[in-house]
């Protein structure tokens, strides 16, 4: 009886607290802006929030932050406890596995109390004296944000080209450091993207962005030259972005011009930086390909024979479709995600039955071996492999219960050697947790995979709190991974699940195709199906189910919440892409034009009507919504801060319930949130505390 009374008092106090704080919630002023497209008139009451320089906008955002902090004040002790737990589970002073490149072994290390990694190397042997090549902690002094874009070494190992973003807007400045003297070149280049060194140790090729943050020009730069940099190529089609890189063989430099559905590559020999660039294959509608080099051949991964790609070779002397030789044929059930070429072997990175796989093939014998993995749900992928003549292949493996591990696969023996497993201080035991792979039947009969993890001993009685996550866009797989932070939720009884919905890339390109463009709603119905399946199987129930997604996964959150607000107790939308129509109509914004092939072009009426039918911002209605936490960053260049800000303002003005709605904005970060590792954990602790208070009962 005493426990019952205490529980009732807790709920009463919580209701009173929410009622009191909700009454103090910021109210964004209404300034209607009307726009007519295809005869359809839309009114945006909060368009004014786009003005980043407006003091009233900043004041409103700060008011939302203050409101969120006040609302979360009862959880401050829980946030501190969660943060302390998260920090206690990371090895604060640690080092990555060194890898060899040329005469040096490279690695990065972290020191206790420091936010950023330190990049180091040793000459020829691991017993040699350490040389620090880049200490991000020193570079971050006086800054609230710091992120590295590229780290690129000249062939002789003497010069380091690196780029830094100091705001979170993903606008990088390129520097060159002489590692022999520690001195920086007097030259720096702003708004850069990809970088490649020529073989002469003095020429750099780099791309730069336009006003919409599209990488559109390639320049050649000679160190210490007095003249201006040479413009090599300008991509005039706004659907395409540029990227430059060097083959692992070091013989060629490639320039890729790619859209979401097409590609075109150019090349020169790395020892001829002033040579004329030649085209591998001209761009063609719906033909995606990439290219690498081995011997006298280019190896091309192409979708010309089918959506899941094949591998072909063609002579470097005259690359053409007429001279293709099929190396790996197209397979409808296997996605060829990538190929790593080495002097004596190559590794095919594949996806089959929703899982990543690695297959090693020797050039001399054509012998093929698949690397075996022990679990039913896992993630695996290439690690650092810069050496062309290597006889080993380094890869990383993890699962929802297995910490991240680094292996070397030995070509001669066919065996994998464990080099390092992520250490979890405090005595983590994988056998204390259970990982499962489930399937839910979608409305059209398609099986949608689900990855689930929970603490051993769970009773499936429908009463467990659960966090369900999803993404489902761009053909990007929502792979399972290991998280030390997540243990704080698992140890408190939460079940955590990932919905591998269409629109992502878990099951190959057709999985992506069936959740994009005019089939985008499949992504949302798949997610709802997964939630219903987990409830039916008694993993949880609606009033204990929280969902979370970020970026395009935030679009997912907004769409399913509009469709089925009754299905979820809490929703966490991180940097959410929720204002689809307005954003895709504005071609001045980053990413907009290139993403017409993912979402559609609203200048076309059919696309406009379909996009509007699911756009979260456009479809907010006067109904009850779950508790919601919307989180973003002021300097986000991918999903501008005003999308979630407008979404929150409209939702608060329209919804009919008194459920908690919080908006939290990091005023000093970008799309990925805080850049320092400790600051990032504090953000996670805030989100976890909100989830726990929302879906766990006393």
pLDDT digits (tens, 9 = 90+) for 420-435: 999 999 989 999 999 9
Predicted pLDDT of residue 5:
39
- Average pLDDT score over residue span 59-69: 98
3-state secondary structure 133-191: EEEHHHHCCCCCCCEEEEEEECCCCCEEEEEEECCCCCCEEEEEEECCCCEECCCCEEE
The answer to whether residue 212 scores a pLDDT higher than 60 is: yes
- Average pLDDT score over residue span 289-294: 98
| Structural element, H or E, at residue 495 | strand 495-499
Q: What is the pLDDT of residues 225-243, one digit of tens each?
A: 877 999 999 999 999 999 9
| Rounded Cα distance, 600 and 483, in Å | 35
Cβ distance 628 to 25 under 8 Å? no
3-state secondary structure 175-234: EEEECCCCEECCCCEEEEEEEEECCCCCEEEEEEECCCCCEEEEEEEECCCCCCCEEEEE
Q: What is the pLDDT of residues 245-277, one digit of tens each?
A: 999 999 999 999 999 999 999 999 999 999 999
Please list, in sequence order, all residues whose beta carbon lies within 8 angstroms of the beta carbon of residue 530, skipping any fewer than 6 positions away.
440, 448, 450, 468, 470, 497, 499, 501
Question: Tokens representing 126?
Answer: 């691991």
The answer to whether residue 8 scores a pLDDT higher than 70 is: no
**Coil/strand/helix, residue 598:** helix
| Rounded Cα distance, 558 and 565, in Å | 10
Predicted pLDDT of residue 10:
38
Domain extents for the chain? 12-87+434-695, 340-423
The answer to whether residue 185 scores a pLDDT higher than 60 is: yes
Label residue 697 by pLDDT band (50, 70, 90).
Answer: low
Distances (CA, A) of 551 to 350, 470, 597, 608, 670: 26, 11, 17, 21, 12
Predicted pLDDT of residue 224:
86
Phi, psi (rounded to 5 degrees) for 563:
-75, -45
Cβ distance 279 to 264 under 8 Å? yes
What's the angle, vertex CA 121, arms to CA 120 and CA 124, rounded to 5? 170
Predicted pLDDT of residue 225:
83
Q: What is the average pLDDT score of the chain?
A: 95
With a pLDDT cut of 70, the percent of the chain lying above it is 96
Question: Tokens representing 133?
Answer: 């090549």
Nearest to 574 by CA among 558, 559, 589, 562: 558
| Structural element, H or E, at residue 12 | helix 2-23
Beta strand 627-633 with 661-666: parallel, antiparallel or unpaired?
parallel
Question: Tokens representing 522?
Answer: 């499949």
- Average pLDDT score over residue span 547-552: 98
CATH of 12-87+434-695, one of 3.40.50.2020, 3.40.50.1820, 3.40.50.970, 3.40.50.1860: 3.40.50.1820
Nearest to 258 by CA among 236, 288, 232: 288
Q: What is the pLDDT of residues 327-369, one digit of tens each?
A: 999 999 999 999 999 999 999 999 999 999 999 999 999 999 9
Rg (CA), the chain: 26
Is the pLDDT higher at 225 or at 644? Answer: 644
- Average pLDDT score over residue span 535-542: 98
Phi, psi (rounded to 5 degrees) for 134:
-160, 115
Q: What is the pLDDT of residues 361-396, one digit of tens each?
A: 999 999 999 999 999 889 999 999 999 999 999 999
- Average pLDDT score over residue span 33-60: 97
| 81 exposure class (CB count in 10 Å sphere: 0-12, 13-18, 19+) | middle
**Coil/strand/helix, residue 628:** strand
| 41 exposure class (CB count in 10 Å sphere: 0-12, 13-18, 19+) | exposed
**649: number of Cβ within 10 Å:** 22
* Residues facing 465 on adjacent strands: none
Please list, in sequence order, all residues whose beta carbon lies within 8 angstroms of the beta carbon of residue 324, skipping any fewer than 6 positions away.
300, 312, 313, 314
What's the angle, vertex CA 153, arms to CA 147 and CA 157, rounded to 5? 140
**108-124 burial string, b = 16+ CB within 10 Å, else e?**
bebeeebbbbbbbbbee
Please list, in sequence order, all residues whose beta carbon lies within 8 angstroms of the beta carbon of residue 177, skipping any fewer than 6 positions away.
133, 134, 159, 160, 162, 183, 184, 185
DSSP string, 329-388: --BTTEEEEEEEE-SSEEEEEEEETTEEEEEEEETTT--EEEPP---SS-EEEE-----T
| Rounded Cα distance, 284 and 302, in Å | 12
Label residue 6 by pLDDT band (50, 70, 90).
Answer: very low
With a pLDDT cut of 90, the percent of the chain lying above it is 94
pTM of the model: 0.95
- Average pLDDT score over residue span 479-503: 97
Q: What is the pLDDT of residues 111-168, one digit of tens each?
A: 999 999 999 999 999 999 999 999 999 999 999 999 999 999 999 999 999 999 999 9
3-state secondary structure 432-483: HEEEEEEEEECCCCCEEEEEEEEECCCCCCCCCCEEEEECCCCCCCCCCCCC
Distance from the Cα of residue 504 to its chain's centroid = 12
Predicted pLDDT of residue 16:
36
- Average pLDDT score over residue span 618-634: 98
- Residues assigned a catalytic role: 551, 636, 671
Please list, in sequence order, all residues whose beta carbon lies within 8 angstroms of the beta carbon of residue 413, skipping any fewer than 6 positions away.
none
The answer to whether residue 512 scores a pLDDT higher than 70 is: yes
| Rounded Cα distance, 519 and 513, in Å | 8
Predicted pLDDT of residue 479:
86
Question: Tokens representing 661?
Answer: 């709605």
């Amino acid at each position: 009886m005493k426990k019952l009374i205490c529980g009732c008092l807790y709920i009463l106090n919580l209701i009173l607290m929410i009622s009191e704080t909700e009454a103090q919630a910021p109210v964004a002023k209404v300034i209607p802006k009307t726009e007519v497209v295809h005869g359809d008139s839309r009114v945006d009451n909060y368009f004014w929030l786009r003005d980043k320089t407006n003091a009233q906008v900043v004041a409103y955002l700060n008011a939302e932050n203050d409101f969120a902090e006040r609302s979360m004040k009862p959880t401050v002790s829980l946030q501190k406890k969660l943060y302390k737990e998260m920090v206690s589970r990371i090895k604060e002073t640690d080092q990555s596995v060194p890898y060899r490149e040329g005469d040096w072994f490279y690695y990065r290390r972290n020191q206790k109390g420091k936010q950023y990694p330190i990049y180091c190397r040793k000459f020829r042997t691991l017993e040699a004296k350490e040389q620090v090549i880049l200490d991000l902690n020193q570079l971050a002094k006086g800054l609230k944000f710091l992120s590295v874009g590229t780290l690129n070494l000249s062939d002789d190992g003497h010069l380091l080209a690196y780029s830094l973003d100091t705001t979170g807007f993903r606008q990088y400045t390129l520097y060159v450091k002489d590692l022999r003297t520690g001195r920086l070149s007097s030259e720096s280049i702003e708004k850069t993207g990809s970088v490649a060194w020529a073989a002469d140790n003095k020429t750099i090729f780099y791309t730069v962005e336009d006003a919409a943050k599209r990488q559109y020009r390639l320049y050649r730069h000679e160190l210490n030259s007095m003249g201006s940099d040479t413009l090599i190529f300008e991509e005039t089609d706004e659907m395409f972005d540029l990227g430059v890189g060097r083959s692992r063989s070091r013989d060629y430099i490639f320039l890729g011009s790619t859209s979401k559905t097409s590609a075109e590559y150019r090349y020169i020999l790395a020892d001829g930086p002033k040579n004329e660039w030649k085209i591998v294959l001209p761009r063609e509608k719906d033909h995606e390909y990439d290219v690498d080099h081995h011997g006298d051949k280019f190896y091309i991964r192409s979708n010309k024979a089918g959506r899941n790609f094949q591998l072909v070779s063609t002579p470097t002397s005259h690359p053409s479709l007429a001279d293709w030789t099929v190396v790996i044929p197209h397979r409808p059930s296997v996605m060829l995600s990538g190929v790593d070429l080495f002097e004596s072997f190559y590794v095919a990175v594949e996806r089959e039955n929703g899982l990543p796989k690695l297959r090693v093939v020797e050039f001399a014998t054509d012998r093929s071996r698949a690397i075996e993995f022990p679990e039913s749900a896992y993630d695996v992928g290439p690690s650092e492999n810069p050496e062309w003549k290597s006889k080993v292949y380094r890869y990383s493996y993890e699962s929802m219960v297995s910490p991240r591990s680094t292996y070397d696969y030995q070509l001669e023996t066919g065996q994998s050697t464990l080099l390092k497993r992520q250490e979890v201080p405090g005595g983590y035991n994988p056998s204390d947790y259970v990982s499962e792979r489930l399937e839910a039947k979608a409305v059209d009969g398609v099986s949608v995979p689900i990855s689930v993890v929970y603490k051993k001993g769970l009773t499936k009685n429908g009463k467990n709190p659960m966090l369900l996550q999803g993404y489902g866009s761009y053909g990007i797989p929502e792979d399972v991974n290991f998280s030390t932070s997540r243990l704080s939720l698992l140890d408190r009884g939460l079940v955590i699940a990932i919905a591998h919905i269409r629109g992502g890339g878990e099951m190959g390109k057709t999985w992506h195709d069936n959740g994009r463009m005019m089939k985008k709603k499949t992504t949302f119905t798949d997610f709802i199906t997964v939630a219903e399946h987990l409830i039916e199987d008694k993993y949880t129930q609606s009033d204990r189910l929280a969902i979370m997604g970020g970026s395009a996964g935030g679009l997912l959150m907004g769409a399913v919440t509009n469709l089925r607000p009754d299905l979820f107790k809490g929703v966490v939308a991180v940097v959410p892409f929720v204002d689809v129509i307005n954003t895709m109509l504005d071609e001045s914004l980053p990413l907009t034009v290139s993403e017409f092939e993912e979402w559609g072009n609203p200048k076309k009426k059919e696309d406009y009507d379909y996009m509007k039918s699911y756009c979260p911002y456009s479809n907010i209605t006067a109904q009850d919504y779950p508790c919601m936490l919307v989180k973003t960053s002021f300097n986000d260049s991918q999903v501008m801060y005003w999308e979630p800000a407008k979404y929150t303002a409209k939702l608060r003005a329209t919804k009919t319930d008194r459920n908690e709605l919080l908006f939290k904005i990091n005023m000093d970060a970008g799309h990925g949130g805080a850049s320092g590792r400790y600051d990032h954990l504090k953000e996670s602790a805030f989100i976890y505390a909100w989830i726990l208070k929302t879906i766990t009962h006393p």
